[in-house]
Structure 1
Amino acid sequence: MNVLVIPDKFKGSLTAKEVIKSITAGIAKAFSSAKIHSLVASDGGDGFLDAVSGNKVIAKMWVDTVDPLMRPIKAMYLLDSKSKSAYIEMARASGLELLTVQERNAMRTTTFGTGIQIKDAIQKGARRIYLGLGGSATNDGGIGLAKALGYSFLDNLGNTLEPIGSNLIKIAKIEKGSSYDTLNNIAFFAVNDVDNPLFGEHGAAYVYGPQKGVDRKQVQILDDGLVNLHKRAKEQLGHDNAHLPGSGAAGGTAYGLKTFFDADYISGIDFILKLGKVPDFLEKNKVDFIITGEGKIDAQTINGKLVKGVLGLGKTYGVPVIAVCGKLDLDKQQLNALGLNTVLETYESSKGIDFSMQNASTLIENLIFSFFDAINK
């Protein structure tokens, strides 16, 4: 038995490393002779830096920056001086987890702190910026990040706007800063695995706004603001990126990176899999199963998360994929469309979600053991 384990974190319960440990224990109970290979992965969201550092030797850099509400914090990123590459996880300075539930409000939050990290990396010699998107508390279209790197956003009276979600609708003029020419020599990469456009019913505000603390009316305000940002950028900068798949990632931060810094969109899971040399491994070894998973398999999984990327890997190499999750929120038809035939769910309605989250490690181990024990028999 040869098994490859590539799960995402179970948000609020287990890190990807802890999920791997539970899955490995379950397999080993059923098949003591099983060869188990694993990879700490990320789709570009939370855990991106762990995935990068788990696959290459790299320096950790700490910088004084601000959180989504502009409060001072210290945040870490990774710097590879040899290749002049910086790896920045948006969630570290602009993440939802930095705020209490009561503080979450995408009308008021900003990506400015992530921009400070990027600026620091460039000052330290980075010429390639890989920004892992996901887990953000923001819906500012990337204007906070852009402001930190020299852009200004003005209203129709010429006043400089604070780079927050509620001000997107007020933008009348976009001005490039004095550092614009320098930034032209920097290669930016927006690392993520969602395919949402910038605005509309499948866009940043409508799909992700509610989890960032905004109500239905505010979602509409934010969506209108993103439409306005796109209109101004198209008129004044000549860029038309709103409908590119992935532009809605991280509250439109992907759009901002593309529009203001000509970033390339790259798949987070493909990036990490290549970094971990997984395609090479699958070409050279016979693998019986690939096991993936995440805390909740739902509509966001369909839009492109780590699980979807691993399913693509299994299809390419003809290896069956098993997914384990805390909560399954897709019907059979959606699962079939996704190409996912075997899902192991820890949630039991009689015990509630809190029980599943608090006992995730044991529940995952037991589910995996039961699955492989049945095969063994």
Structure 2
Amino acid sequence: MKILLIPDKFKGSLTAREVIESMRRGINSVFPDAIVHSVRASDGGDGFLDTILANVNCDAIEVDTVDSLGRDIKTEYLYNPKNNSAYIELAKTSGLALLNEGERNVMKTSTFGTGLLIKDAILKGSTSIYLGIGGSATNDVGLGIAEALGYYFLDNNGNQLAPNGANLSKINSIHKSSNSISLKGVSFFAINDVDNPLYGPEGAAHIYGKQKGGSPEEIEQLDFGMQDFANLVQLQTKKDDAMLSGSGAAGGTAYGLKIFCDAEFISGIDFVLGISKVEEILRQNEFDYIITGEGKIDSQTLYGKLIKGVVELGNRFDVPVVALCGQLDLDKKEVLKFENLTVLEIQDTSKPLNYNMENAGLLIEKVIQSFLKK
């Protein structure tokens, strides 16, 4: 028996490393001599830096910055001095996980703190900046990042506006200060886990606004605001990237990185599989299964989440894929859209949510044991 493990974290329960350990225990309890290869994955959200550290030799750089509500925090990014590359995880500064449920305010949150990390990396000499932009608490189309780099935004009366979602429709003009940081010679890469456009029914606000604390009225306002801002950008700069696949990632941060920094979009799973040389591993070995997983499989999984990428990888190499999840929120017809995939829900439905969250590792072991004994 030979198995390749490529799981994401189970948010709120287990890191990707802990998921791998639980999967390995489950496999070895049935097949003690099984050969197990593992890749610690991330779709660009929480755990992105852990994935980088597992595959790239980097230094951790600690920085004073702010969270999405402007509160002082300390965090870090990674820097590879050999090629002047920086790796930044948006979730560590502008992330939803840094806020409790009562603090979520998608109208006021900003990516400014992430921008401060980018600025620090550029001043340290970074010429390639890789941003994992999943897990955001924001819907500011990256205005906060832009402000940290020297841009500012004025209303009809010439007043400067705070870089947040509430002000999107109020922006009348975009400016860059004379002492702004130079982006010349710096390449930006937005590590992206979704295919959503900036606005519309499948856009950032409508698909992700609710989980960031947005009410139905606020979500409509944000969607209109993003349309207004995109129209202004097109008028002022001739750039028209709002409907580009992935522009809606991280509350439109991907769009902001594209228009302000000329960022290239890279699929999170493709990026991780590239740096971990997974395709080389698959070419050199014949696996019985690829086992992946994440905390929840739902409609967002169809928009480019890690599991979708792993299934595509399994199809290319003709290896069946098994996906474990804490909660399955897709009906059977939607699951069947994924060829070559078996989905296993680990939760014990007779127990409360807290039990399942606290015992996720044990539940993963049991589900794998049951599957492999069939």
TM-score range, shorter chain: over 0.9
Query: Do structure 1's residue 159 and structure 2's residue 159 form an aligned pair?
Result: yes
Shift, 1:287, TM fit: 1.1
Deviation string 1:73-96 (CA, Å, 9 cap, x unpaired) is 111100011111100000011001
Native 8 Å contact 2:134 2:193 kept in 1: no
The equivalent residue for 1:266 is: 266
What SS is found at the alignment partner of 1:310? Answer: helix
**Over residues 248-304 of structure 1, what are the superposed CA-to-partner deviations in whole Å (9 max), with x where a residue is unaligned?**
000000000001111000111111111011111111111111000000000111111
Q: Give the equivalent residue in structure 2 for 1:370.
A: 370
Which whole-Å CA distance do the structure 1 matches of 2:3 and 2:373 have between them? Answer: 14
Match of 1:239 in 2: 239
For structure 1, the residue ranges without an aligned partner over 5 or more in a row are none
- Counting only pairs closer than 5 Å after superposition, residues 196-345 of structure 1 correspond to structure 2 as 196-339=196-339, 341-345=341-345
TM-score, with length taken from structure 2: 0.98
Where structure 2 has 5 or more consecutive residues not aligned to the other structure, the ranges are: none
Match of 2:131 in 1: 131
Counterpart of 1:29 in structure 2 is 29
Q: Which amino acid aligns with 2:55?
A: N
The 8 Å contact of residues 269 and 306 in structure 2, kept in 1 or not, is answered as: yes
Asked if residue 52 in structure 1 is aligned to residue 55 in structure 2, the reply is: no
> Deviation of residue 320 (structure 1)?
0.5
AA aligned opposite 1:203: G
Q: TM-score, normalised by structure 1?
A: 0.97
Distance 2:339 2:150 in 1: 45
Could you say which residue in structure 2 is the equivalent of 1:78?
78
CA shift, 1:160, in A, is: 0.6
Distance 1:82 1:179, change over 3 A: farther
* Cα deviation code 1:331-372 (max 9, x no counterpart): 111111122531111123322322211110100001001111
Give CA-to-partner distance per residue, 1:105-154, whole Å, 9 cap, x none: 11010000000000000000101110001110000000010000011111
**Is the Cα–Cα contact under 8 Å of residues 41 and 269 in structure 1 kept in the other structure?**
yes
SS in 1 for 2:182: helix
Q: Following the alignment from structure 2 to structure 1, what is the Cα–Cα distance between the partners of residues 232 and 295?
A: 38
Quote how far apart the aligned CAs of 1:181 are: 7.9
Letter of the structure 2 residue corresponding to residue 330 of structure 1: L
Question: Please, which moves more after superposition, 333-342 or 21-30?
Answer: 333-342
Q: Is the 8 A contact 2:311 2:341 kept in 1?
A: no
Deviations 1:291-327 (A, max 9, x none): 0000000011111111111111101111110011100
Q: Percent identity?
A: 56
Q: Is the 8 A contact 2:119 2:181 kept in 1?
A: no
Count of residue pairs brought into register by the alignment: 374
For the residues of structure 2 that align with 1:341 and 1:240, how far apart are their CA atoms? Answer: 37
Q: Distance in 1 between matches of 2:180 and 2:270?
A: 30
- Residue 184 of structure 1 contacts residue 261 of structure 1 at CA under 8 Å; is this kept in 2? no
Letter in 2 for 1:362: L
Output the CA distance in 2 between the equivalents of 1:190 and 1:180.
21
CA RMSD of aligned residues (A): 1.1
SS in 2 for 1:182: coil
